[in-house]
């Protein structure tokens, strides 16, 4: 029996045990395509099709099977959340919100979860075009993750990290109303209210450290930490629910794991930026397959350590 056949049988058994709420044919197809993808480490549908273990009348038919599966109507998060439990997270769970382009034609809006020193996908969406995905488009993802965390990680502290392109009134309001903490980086032109000696962050350009609590930004009460370390051209203006200070600002560095994850998606791994897929829903399904490959690699590492 070949390596890919062994992997397929193992995945099928584990997928069945997880009660993914998929039909048996869809579960089998998910196991078969995931096995092929993890062996080939590619998002190229033709290469994935070449390694399918079941024979079809032609290679074209095999690739069509992959593309048809990418079109299947089921919720990716409802499948993927069954695998999140297999990862061991710290007592403080760090989520990161960011966006990356796919070949200048699509944008991935990703909320990742920090695992060890890296990040893995948690919830995502893909939109056509290069524009930033707005709060109204991703707030449903936040709501679903919040509900999931309350049930499965209710005793953990949750912190959401986001770059300056995402800090806005709606997001800060949502976070202030939630039980999550946050570290959001701000643009330099954001208005600061309620603190008489500071109007713009450009005023802090030559300041190494500055912090103030209960300040108004985006018409929301929050805490502000400014940090500019030696050798850096720009400082970090970070708002948080936690009390301001140097350590609060330094927490923001934990978001860099999502950058490495995007590199795994692209040049250092699956080359999703070179994919032949031309439909946002199919790309969202492809990210599920990549996430499952991360899970397979984690399982293999765990087995080796045992």
> What is the DSSP code string of 272-301?
GGG-----HHHHHHHHHHHHHHHHHHHHHH
Same domain, 13 and 129: no
| 275 close to 108: Cβ distance less than 8 angstroms | no
* Lowest-pLDDT range of 34-48, 137-151, 202-216: 202-216
* Lowest-pLDDT range of 59-68, 76-85, 125-134: 59-68
pLDDT at residue 238 is higher than 60: yes
Same domain, 91 and 212: yes
Q: Which residue's structure tokens are 């829903």?
A: 281
Same domain, 67 and 181: no
φ, ψ of residue 132 in degrees (nearest 5): -65, 135
> CATH number of the domain that 243 lies in?
3.90.350.10
Q: What is the spatial distance between Cα 95 and Cα 178, in angstroms, rounded to a whole number?
A: 14
Tell me, yes or no, whether 271 lies in a domain.
Answer: no
Q: Which residue's structure tokens are 């499948």?
A: 79
Q: What is the spatial distance between Cα 91 and Cα 114, in angstroms, rounded to a whole number?
A: 11
Same domain, 155 and 287: no
Tell me, yes or no, whether 265 lies in a domain.
Answer: no
- Give the model's pLDDT for residue 126: 94
Tell me, yes or no, whether 273 lies in a domain.
Answer: no
| 241 close to 223: Cβ distance less than 8 angstroms | yes
Q: Is 135 helix (H, G, I), strand (E, B) or coil?
A: helix
Same domain, 64 and 189: no
Query: pLDDT tier at 76 (50, 70, 90 boundaries)?
Result: very high
- Give the model's pLDDT for residue 288: 96
pLDDT at residue 178 is higher than 70: yes
Domains identified in the chain, total number: 2
pLDDT at residue 159 is higher than 70: yes
Same domain, 117 and 9: no
The pair of three-digit structure tokens given for residue 171, joined into one six-digit string: 């997001």
Considering only CA atoms, which of 281, 289, 261 is closest in space to residue 15? 289
Tell me, yes or no, whether 190 lies in a domain.
Answer: yes
- Give the model's pLDDT for residue 306: 44
- Give the model's pLDDT for residue 60: 59
Same domain, 97 and 178: yes
Same domain, 94 and 12: no
Tell me, yes or no, whether 33 lies in a domain.
Answer: yes
Task: State the CB neighbour count (10 A cutoff) for residue 29.
Answer: 19
The range of the structural domain enclosing residue 294 comes to 3-74+278-305
Query: pLDDT tier at 196 (50, 70, 90 boundaries)?
Result: very low
The runs of H, that is alpha helices, within the chain are 3-17, 24-40, 45-50, 59-70, 76-84, 135-152, 169-177, 246-250, 257-265, 280-305
Counting every residue written for the chain, the total comes to 306
Considering only CA atoms, which of 201, 200, 135 is closest in space to residue 167? 135
Query: pLDDT tier at 282 (50, 70, 90 boundaries)?
Result: very high
Same domain, 200 and 297: no
Q: Is 121 helix (H, G, I), strand (E, B) or coil?
A: strand
φ, ψ of residue 235 in degrees (nearest 5): -95, 170
Same domain, 11 and 104: no
Same domain, 52 and 89: no
Tell me, yes or no, whether 270 lies in a domain.
Answer: no
Tell me, yes or no, whether 155 lies in a domain.
Answer: yes
Percent share of the chain, pLDDT over 90? 57
- What are the tens digits of pLDDT across the range 97-146? 999 988 778 999 999 999 998 999 999 999 988 767 899 999 999 999 99
Secondary structure tally for the chain: helices H, strands E: 10, 8
Listed in sequence order, the residues at least 6 apart from 272 whose beta carbon sits closer than 8 Å to its beta carbon are 43, 102, 265, 266, 283, 286, 287, 290
Q: What is the spatial distance between Cα 151 and Cα 53, in angstroms, rounded to a whole number?
A: 38
Task: Name the more confident of 306 and 32.
Answer: 32
Tell me, yes or no, whether 263 lies in a domain.
Answer: no
pLDDT at residue 48 is higher than 70: yes
In this structure, are strands 118-128 and 157-162 parallel, antiparallel, or unpaired?
A: unpaired
Query: pLDDT tier at 273 (50, 70, 90 boundaries)?
Result: confident
Same domain, 57 and 153: no
Q: Report CA 9 to chain centroid distance, whole Å.
A: 28
Give the mean pLDDT of 176-191.
90
The pair of three-digit structure tokens given for residue 200, joined into one six-digit string: 């713009």
The pair of three-digit structure tokens given for residue 258, joined into one six-digit string: 């999502």
């Amino acid at each position: 029996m070949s390596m890919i056949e062994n992997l397929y049988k193992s995945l099928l058994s584990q997928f069945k045990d997880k009660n993914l709420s998929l039909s048996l044919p869809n579960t089998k197809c998910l196991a078969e395509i995931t096995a092929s993808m993890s062996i080939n480490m590619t998002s190229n549908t033709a290469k994935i099709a070449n390694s399918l273990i079941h024979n079809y009348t032609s290679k074209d038919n095999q690739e069509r099977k992959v593309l048809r599966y990418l079109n299947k109507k089921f919720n990716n998060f409802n499948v993927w959340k069954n695998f999140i439990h297999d990862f061991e997270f710290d007592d403080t769970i760090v989520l990161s919100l960011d966006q990356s382009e796919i070949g200048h034609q699509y944008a991935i809006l990703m909320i990742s979860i920090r695992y060890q020193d890296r990040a893995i996908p948690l919830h995502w969406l893909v939109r056509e075009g290069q524009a930033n995905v707005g709060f109204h488009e991703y707030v449903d993802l936040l709501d679903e993750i919040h509900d999931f965390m309350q049930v499965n990680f209710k005793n953990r502290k949750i912190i959401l990290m986001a770059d300056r392109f995402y800090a806005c009134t709606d997001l800060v309001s949502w976070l202030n109303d939630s039980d999550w903490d946050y570290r959001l980086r701000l643009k330099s032109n954001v208005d600061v209210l309620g603190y008489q000696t500071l109007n713009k962050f450009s005023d802090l350009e030559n300041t190494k450290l500055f912090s103030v609590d209960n300040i108004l930004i985006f018409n929301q009460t929050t805490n502000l930490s400014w940090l500019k370390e030696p050798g850096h051209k720009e400082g970090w203006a970070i708002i948080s629910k936690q009390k301001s200070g140097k350590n609060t600002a330094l927490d923001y560095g934990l978001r860099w794991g999502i950058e490495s994850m995007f590199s795994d998606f692209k040049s250092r791994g699956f080359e999703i930026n070179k994919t032949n897929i031309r439909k946002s829903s199919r790309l969202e399904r492809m990210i599920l397959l990549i996430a499952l490959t991360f899970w397979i690699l984690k399982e293999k590492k765990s087995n080796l350590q045992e």
